[in-house]
Structure 1
Amino acid sequence: MFIFVVLLMVLVAAAIGWAVLGIHALLLGRMPGRWLDRVVRQPRIWGAGALLMLLSLDMGSPSLLVIGVGLVALGHVAKPT
């Protein structure tokens, strides 16, 4: 039971961190930290995808999850304007 609670807490913390990164990228148009800023080329697209992925978990929609994963991948590979 203790391990289940710890794993649940880790998953909740990861979801909150993912949401913070998504909101930060979507609103500010940049990624925090040197590594993420260097890896992600289009932060706003990446942030929208990250938030859609979290929304898909809440709604139980696999199609939103696929769209979110696609937007996150597009945020990594799209050339900046």
Structure 2
Amino acid sequence: MVLGIFVGLALLAMLAVGITWAVIGIHALLLGRMPGRRLPRYVRQPRLWGAGALLMLASWYARSPSLLVIGIGLIALGHVAKPTR
């Protein structure tokens, strides 16, 4: 009984994290900026970061390690690439 409740709460937490990740990814991809105070300081290319975040979610649903690696690469590029002017 307790194990079932624990598993249910863990799945609910994973769902909440996935939804939050998707909202931040869509926000970054469409608007070209990161929400909050901390994220804009760490992410230089929000559109790359957002595309990577959405690809990571897509890889989870499609069970594709290739999409996961590409998504992680895009997120890394979003952190280190210099902004174009």
TM-score, normalised to structure 1's length? 0.99
Residue aligning to 1:37: 40
Structure 1 stretches of 4+ with a deviation exceeding 6 A read none
Q: Aligned-pair distance for 1:28? A: 0.1
The letter of the residue matching 1:14 is V
Residue aligning to 1:52: 55
Q: Aligned-pair distance for 1:77? A: 0.3
Q: Distance in 2 between matches of 1:16 and 1:8?
A: 12
Q: Distance in 1 between matches of 2:46 and 2:82?
A: 11
In the alignment, structure 1 segments of 5+ residues that lack a partner are: none
Q: Aligned-pair distance for 1:64? A: 0.3
RMSD: 0.3
Residue aligning to 2:66: 63
% identity of equivalent residues = 68
Q: Aligned-pair distance for 1:27? A: 0.1
Across the two proteins, how many residue pairs are aligned to each other? Answer: 81
Q: Aligned-pair distance for 1:12? A: 0.2
TM-score, normalised to structure 2's length? 0.94
Q: Distance in 2 between matches of 1:73 and 1:6?
A: 30
In the alignment, structure 2 segments of 5+ residues that lack a partner are: none
Alignment pair present for 1:23 and 2:26: yes
Rg: which structure is higher? 2
Residue aligning to 1:76: 79
